[in-house]
Amino acid sequence: MSRYGNCSKCNHNLEMHYEVFCPKCNTSVLEKQIRVFDLFKIMYHMEANGFMSLRKFWKELLDRNDRIRNDIYVNMWIEWNEDKDEQDDFDRYYCEMARILNLEYGEKVAMWISW
């Protein structure tokens, strides 16, 4: 018996890599877990559809993350204030971004940044 037990499906030893999984039958660990999007194309799209301007969103994003630079992938968690009466421009932006990209609240995605 392994340190983490055995798989209930195939009885193979379970392994740990961020979470316990069966390396024999759990093929979901082989799938890419983070979706990747081009942030600048999204910002252009959002501005063209009446949301926060590219420049304003970019400035807000830089204020929140000083590690952003050109030709980089950054992880973003698509979260917002769910109280519609208290949402600011940033919350509405993320709500719409989630809707058009078919993302769930709190979903982690990778954004490609290149200009």
Query: Is a pLDDT exceeding 80 seen at residue 13?
Result: yes
Let me know if 63 is exposed, middle or buried by CB neighbors in 10 A (0-12, 13-18, 19+).
exposed
| Average pLDDT, integer, range 7-30 | 84
Assess whether 11 and 41 both reside in one domain: no
CB atoms within 10 A of CB 91: 16
CB atoms within 10 A of CB 79: 14
What pLDDT is attached to residue 68? 79
Question: How confident is residue 93, by pLDDT bands cut at 50, 70 and 90?
Answer: very high
Domain residues for the domain of 18 are 1-31
Assess whether 25 and 80 both reside in one domain: no
Assess whether 53 and 81 both reside in one domain: yes
Burial 27-61 (b: 16+ CB within 10 A, else e): eeeeeeeeeeeebeebbeebbeeebbebeebbeeb
Assess whether 18 and 62 both reside in one domain: no
Could you give the number of structural domains in the chain? Answer: 2
Assess whether 27 and 39 both reside in one domain: no
Of 112 and 69, the one with more pLDDT: 112
Assess whether 25 and 41 both reside in one domain: no
Nearest alpha carbon to residue 3 among 11, 13, 25: 13
Assess whether 60 and 92 both reside in one domain: yes
Chain mean pLDDT for the chain: 86
Assess whether 27 and 57 both reside in one domain: no
Assess whether 84 and 40 both reside in one domain: yes
Assess whether 73 and 95 both reside in one domain: yes
